Amino acid sequence: MGIETVAVYSTADRDSLHVRLADYAVCIGPPPSPQSYLNRNNLIMAAAGAGCGAIHPGVGFLSENAAFAKLVRDRGFAFIGPAPETIELLGDKVAARDTARRFGLPVTPGSAGAVDSEEAAAKAARELGFPVIIKAAAGGGGKGMRVVRRAEELAGNFALARSEAEANFADNTVFIERYLENPRHVELQILADKNSVAVLGERDCSVQQNHQKLIEESPSPGVTETMRSRMAEGAVNLFRELGYTGAGTIEFLVEGENFYFMEVNARLQVEHPVSEFVTGTDIVREQILACTAGRMELEPDKVSLDGWAIECRINALSPGKITRLEIPGGPGVRFDSFLYQGCSVPPFYDSMVAKLIVHDSTRDRAIAKMSRALDELVIEGIRTNRERQKLVMRDPKFRSGRFGTHYYEEINGEAENVF
């Protein structure tokens, strides 16, 4: 797009690939997130000092923080995301449930609002019935989420969820929902500008461990055309009425033919490449255009799905120095990562170090291509989950497409808390 970029980084990420590739790079603080990536003033000063015209909040940290979006706007920068008022409605999961309900979308039973004490949590759990799930209102990525199956487990998990929410999102607000035992996790990719709303198909994110996604694919093997149309209609109505701008994702839990609104991620998602593959759309480009020029190049009525795409998240199971890196290639293979041979993976932040994405004409062919790509991928110097991802690609149940969010635990036994 001819836009010069300024990367920001903590001292732990000084050797990261994005720092090397950017036109300019600015250090914003030491490794602890509150002193760097969650430090709003440092981010604003970095942008101002570099003469930036816009700030892209990425896929985590402050990307759904309404106060940060307002600060960006008030300081005269374009924010590559929806308006602060929209983020306030949708970025907060409690507010998002209320908003979705107003627009007629079915929601899972849950607390009337945020719960701010053990007593309020216990009352909500009793009314809903166990099991329940505690969720961070400002959360995402599995952070600040705890499943509680018995009353005696509630207090400890409530405290842990609030602590995780504060550490990851600078907001310890949580709420409680009834826990659905083994649904599918399906989300729709949305792009919108001031004139239109486009749906770029759905992604299935049911392969998870500890509520963190491991594998995503598009389209979903568990969504029928009728369900796809109903979901899309509700999503378009919601985003249009809210005057949403930019990229966003609306997430559902699916049981059979029924679906329940879960949340809106008012930001770009880690798994957006699978939607880019099946629709041939550069989502980040369209996001920037929508939020700066006010209009996307994408025409909603011309969006169509072509083939099948799968993404495997490659997670580090240990920090260390990359001593050898061999990246798979070929038609329909994409590798997004900050790794390079000789770089170090620090013991901070999220464990994901790479995304391996493939595209082919059918699901079976995409699985075969992913299996080959995982075989070719070599990362030495740290331990990763590559072998586990290879096992999934070979598993008959995964290949059948008939599974829910407990799938990973079912094939691996009791999931280890390694991510």
Pair (160, 264) in one structural domain = no
**Domain of 51, in residue numbers:** 6-88
Pair (81, 209) in one structural domain = no
Return the CATH number at 361: 3.30.470.20
Pair (26, 70) in one structural domain = yes
Residue 223 lies in a domain: yes
Question: What is the phi/psi pair of residue 87, to 5°?
Answer: -60, -40
CA distance 266 to 89: 10
Residue 100 lies in a domain: no
User: Tell me, what's the pLDDT at 105?
Assistant: 87
For residue 418, pLDDT over 90 is answered with no
Pair (281, 315) in one structural domain = yes
Residue 242 lies in a domain: yes
Q: How many residues does the chain have?
A: 419
User: Tell me, what's the pLDDT at 414?
Assistant: 40
pLDDT grade for 109, boundaries at 50, 70 and 90 = confident
Considering 162, 178, 228, 267, which one is annotated as catalytic?
267
Pair (157, 256) in one structural domain = no
Return the CATH number at 50: 3.40.50.20
Residue 103 lies in a domain: no
Active site residue 267: yes
Residue-wise pLDDT for 171-193, tens only, equals 899 999 988 888 999 999 999 99
Pair (125, 210) in one structural domain = no
How far CA 27 is from CA of 14, 64, 349, in Å, comes to 8, 22, 16
> Which three-class secondary structure string do you get for 328-349?
CCCCCEEEEECCCCCCEECCCC
User: Tell me, what's the pLDDT at 91?
Assistant: 67
Give the total number of structural domains in the chain. 3
Residue 300 lies in a domain: yes
With H, G, I as helix, E, B as strand and everything else as coil, classify residue 84: helix
Q: What's the whole-number mean pLDDT along residues 196-214?
A: 95
Which range, of 33-37, 43-47, 155-159, 176-180, averages the lowest pLDDT?
Answer: 176-180
Which range, of 38-47, 226-235, 307-316, 403-412, averages the lowest pLDDT?
Answer: 403-412
Query: Could you tell me which residues come within 8 angstroms of residue 153 by beta carbon, excluding any fewer than 6 positions away?
Result: none
Residue 98 lies in a domain: no
For residue 417, pLDDT over 60 is answered with no
Q: What's the whole-number mean pLDDT along residues 262-284?
A: 96
Which range, of 135-139, 281-285, 351-355, 384-388, averages the lowest pLDDT?
Answer: 135-139
Q: What's the whole-number mean pLDDT along residues 241-269?
A: 92
Domain end position, chosen among 32, 56, 88 = 88
CA distance 61 to 258: 32
Return the CATH number at 168: 3.30.1490.20
Residue 190 lies in a domain: yes
Q: What's the whole-number mean pLDDT along residues 219-232?
A: 94
Pair (279, 393) in one structural domain = yes
Domain end position, chosen among 138, 154, 178 = 178
Pair (266, 174) in one structural domain = no
Domain end position, chosen among 159, 178, 197 = 178
Q: What's the whole-number mean pLDDT along residues 94-118?
A: 85
pLDDT grade for 112, boundaries at 50, 70 and 90 = confident
For residue 99, pLDDT over 50 is answered with yes
Pair (277, 362) in one structural domain = yes
User: Tell me, what's the pLDDT at 141?
Assistant: 67
Pair (54, 157) in one structural domain = no
Helix axes 272-279, 283-292, angle to 10 degrees: 100
User: Tell me, what's the pLDDT at 374?
Assistant: 98
Pair (144, 53) in one structural domain = no
Average pLDDT, the chain: 93
Residue 360 lies in a domain: yes
Q: What's the whole-number mean pLDDT along residues 68-72?
A: 97
Pair (275, 384) in one structural domain = yes
